[in-house]
Amino acid sequence: MFQSPYPPVDIPDESIYDDLFGSLVEADLDRVALIDPATGAETTYRSLRAQVDAFAGALAARGVDTETVVALLCPNVPAFATVFHGILRLGAIVTTINSLYTAHEIENQIQDAAATWLVTVSPLLGPAAEAARAAGIPDDRVIVLDGAEGHPDLRSMLAEGRTPPDVAFDPSTHVAVLPYSSGTTGNPKGVMLTHRNLVANVHQCRVVIELQRDDRVLAVLPFFHIYGMTVLLNLALRQRASLVTMPRFDLVEFLRNIQEYRCTFLFIAPPIAVALAKHPVVDDFDTSSVRTVFSGAAPLDGETAEAAARRMSARILQGYGMSELSPVSHAVPEDRVDMPASSVGVLIPNTDAKLIDPETGAEIEAHGDDGLTAPGEIWVRGPNVMLGYLNRPDATAETLDADGFLHTGDIGVHHVSGYFSIVDRLKELIKYKGYQIAPAELEALLLSHPRIMDAAVIGVDDDDKQEIPKAFVVAAPDSGLTADEVMAFVAAEVAPHKKVRRVEFIEAIPKSASGKILRKDLRARERA
């Protein structure tokens, strides 16, 4: 078993509201919590707390209590923080919905989570109202933050000036949020996270991720996904830093916001790292304010990470996690300059992990001459491990064992100095003639080609029903790149069994809002 190199941290036995807002001191109150680049408006911690309380009071007056599930469908705008923490303030449960979802997808999540209220914004009201109708939520329970005929809105709810009631619940067992996993490998699963899970992950992260009070953090990763929810909305607010909100990713907007607001700390996912490493427009902006870039959510290879870091003149640190871990379990500490850019760092405090050989079930502990263990499935235990999947006792039983370890489904290795590196997902490994090939390794190699802008690899069947690696490649404009050139490039760099044996050029690699390559979409395209 591997343990966190850190001594355990104290995890306050309180709700996430008490932890974030109950701990505010006078010196924090006039600091800026949120900046909205669309209007330039700033929200102080004092005003954020007042809004959270007033929104909670207005919801309570309408009958929302500790049993109510409220669905939140909203891009990253400052009001998200008000609503999210207002709901949690009452001990009600928030289920956050992907703001790119269709009416049908929204309805599915509302039904699965048994939400009886929906909070949204007018640009999303089309699909939101359709989903609410189908799920039987009446208009007076569909709150449209910026206002719409026949619906409650934020301004008037806050203007009621109500005080929320005192509520009592056990933070260790009471569900706070029901985020959904990204649906990379199948249908998204609702994940039950308690107040303690959320509080724990903030305090565990605080020790390793050096996000400080004076940091300006660009909040482009979606708050609805667990990564943005914990490290942006919760960690950055707990540190009393300032969040600059972006409702959607656009590279030029992203760079302009960094320049204009002098952002110091960026949380990104690998697609943004690829853009920062490869896109010429990056040189047109002044990003010198950035100190640290933190990447998670999907594999990021060392070469892309270093190229992006050079162009930002900042360090890129990786972390690893999943919805089921609230989400962070590993991160590279800022002072560990010895760790390669490709690694996801050490176990955060209060966690331990095992590496399990997926073939034999044996625990892997021995390090080879290169300092690394053999690859194995990562199992993690800690106070950030979910209560279970919602409505999915079968999936919960497969994922959580009797000793409290969560089986991540990800293959990784451990280095004797303490860090882990992720190889790929167990389910995505390609089996070629008995050899295993990690798509992520081939994708990294393809990205190192100067005329390849983006790439993804999946296993496909050849004519003999043998699984072979196929690359989907986005070529640089007018590059004239051919499939043979791509295959020859890979063949020159890898062992013969890992060669890419088919290439298809494609306009863009399908990716989820949380930043993952949707290999399942490429597999569907292949079948079609």
| Residues within the interface to ligand ATP (CB under 6 A) | 181-186, 188-189, 296-299, 318, 320-323, 344, 408-410, 422, 425, 514, 516
Q: Give the residue carrying structure tokens 């640290």.
A: 292
Does 96 participate in binding Mg ion (rule CB under 5 A)? no
Complex with ligand ATP: residue 415 or 499, whichever CB lies closer? 415
- How many residues bind Mg ion (CB under 5 A)? The answer is 1
Q: What span, in angstroms and rounded, lies between the C-alpha atoms of 125 and 143?
A: 10
Residue 216 has phi, psi (to 5 degrees) of: -110, 120
Complex with ligand ATP: residue 175 or 517, whichever CB lies closer? 517
Binders of Mg ion in range 178-207 (CB under 5 A)? 181
What does each C-alpha distance from 416 to 2, 316, 333, 432 come to in angstroms?
10, 22, 16, 30
Shortest distance (Å) from residue 181 CB to Mg ion: 5
Instruction: Tabulate helix, strand, coil % of the chain (nearest 5).
Output: 35, 25, 40
Shortest distance (Å) from residue 16 CB to ligand ATP: 19
Q: What span, in angstroms and rounded, lies between the C-alpha atoms of 488 and 500?
A: 9
Beta carbons of 52 and 82 less than 8 angstroms apart:
yes
Complex with ligand ATP: residue 201 or 318, whichever CB lies closer? 318
Positive or negative, the CA dihedral 145, 150, 156, 160 is negative
Within a 13 Å sphere around the CA of 446, how many CA atoms are in the beta-carbon half?
A: 30
The site partner of 188 among ligand ATP, Mg ion, none (C-beta below 5 to 8 Å per kind) is ligand ATP
The site partner of 297 among Mg ion, ligand ATP, none (C-beta below 5 to 8 Å per kind) is ligand ATP
Q: Reduced to 3 states, what is the DSSP secondary structure of residue 487?
A: helix
Shortest distance (Å) from residue 328 CB to Mg ion: 14
What does each C-alpha distance from 124 to 129, 157, 179 come to in angstroms?
8, 20, 19
The site partner of 408 among Mg ion, ligand ATP, none (C-beta below 5 to 8 Å per kind) is ligand ATP
The Cβ of residue 528 has, within 10 Å, a number of other Cβ atoms equal to 5
The site partner of 376 among Mg ion, ligand ATP, none (C-beta below 5 to 8 Å per kind) is none
Positive or negative, the CA dihedral 298, 302, 303, 309 is positive
Q: What span, in angstroms and rounded, lies between the C-alpha atoms of 508 and 473?
A: 8
Complex with ligand ATP: residue 364 or 395, whichever CB lies closer? 395
| Paired residues of 96 in beta bridges | 72
Shortest distance (Å) from residue 225 CB to ligand ATP: 6
Complex with Mg ion: residue 257 or 384, whichever CB lies closer? 384
Q: Reduced to 3 states, what is the DSSP secondary structure of residue 309?
A: helix
* Contact pattern from residue 142 through residue 181 relative to Mg ion, giving x for each residue in contact according to CB under 5 A and a dash for the rest: ---------------------------------------x
Complex with Mg ion: residue 229 or 473, whichever CB lies closer? 229
Shortest distance (Å) from residue 450 CB to ligand ATP: 24
Shortest distance (Å) from residue 179 CB to ligand ATP: 8
Which residue is closest to Mg ion by CB? 181
Complex with ligand ATP: residue 161 or 186, whichever CB lies closer? 186
The site partner of 422 among Mg ion, ligand ATP, none (C-beta below 5 to 8 Å per kind) is ligand ATP
Complex with Mg ion: residue 99 or 408, whichever CB lies closer? 408
Shortest distance (Å) from residue 324 CB to Mg ion: 7
Q: What span, in angstroms and rounded, lies between the C-alpha atoms of 52 and 43?
A: 12
Mark out the alpha helices in 135-238 (DSSP H runs): 154-159, 195-208, 226-227, 237-238
Both structure tokens of 379: 């199992």
Interface residues with Mg ion (CB under 5 A) are 181
